[in-house]
Amino acid sequence: MNPGKLFDLHGRTALVTGASRGLGFGFARCLAAAGADVAVTARSEGSLEGIVAELEALGRKCVPVTLDVCEESSIRPAVGMAEEALGRIDILVNNAGCNVRKPALEVTWAEWNAILDTNLRGAFFVAQAVARGMTARGRGRIINIGSVTSVAGYAGLAPYGASRGGIRQLTMSLAAEWGPAGVTVNCLAPGWFRTAQNAVLYEDETWVKYLSDRIPLRRPGAPEDLDGTLLWLASDASAYVTGQLILVDGGISVNDTRALPAARPERG
């Protein structure tokens, strides 16, 4: 294979969940810039208007799809709509997620369910819906989005950590099951990245300095820091890689993360 073509996604199609903002938007933009046509999802199609315009400006087809990963009745119709519009789905980025930051003794039943339903159950059933076509065609790339909390424990993040640890195990199980059908399943695990969901944390300068001092590369991540690993996992460059968790965290996972201090609660 021509090494120059390893990361080329022209002729490929992708579905990115939770693409209306933050890392999900960055993932969709990265795939489109590499040549893929992309279906982007959110719970409200109106929140995708700007994303669609930006990706189409890159010369790619972009399809907005309404999808609530917590609703069983939403998943298969949304995947079907994306497949109909794009012809098929070659790449799935399972990005939709949520979080509540609070002490474990204060987590409610409803908060636990919301986080696990979105981050773990939803990810499984979206993968299941997309994999029906992938396994039938004998090819596909599924990229589950995990977190440094997939491998490390942080105070105040018990349900989130449980969901992200589950994503790691789910990735391995699906890789084992769908590998014989030509589908790779891997987990991209970001470290500390500033997003709309956690922006309030970064208003605390003392906390940001302490965090940065604990990261060997001495800074939180920027969205573009994920592009290279995402493209590798989505493309032919990773054809013989499956069932793996790839940390993109500036090295914080090599330190004792339990010492990271609590910060102010996140909004929403």
Q: Is 215 helix (H, G, I), strand (E, B) or coil?
A: coil
List beta partners, residue 186.
143
List beta partners, residue 245.
187
Q: Is 202 an active-site residue? A: no
- What are the CA-CA distances from residue 101 to residues 24, 68, 225 (Å)? 20, 22, 25
70 vs 75: CA distance, rounded Å: 8
Q: Phi and psi for 188 in degrees, rounded to 5?
A: -95, 120
The tokens describing 198, both together, are 């956690």
Amino acid, res. 30: C
The tokens describing 149, both together, are 């909390």
Say which of 154, 160, 210, 240 is annotated catalytic.
Answer: 160
Cite the active site residues.
Answer: 160
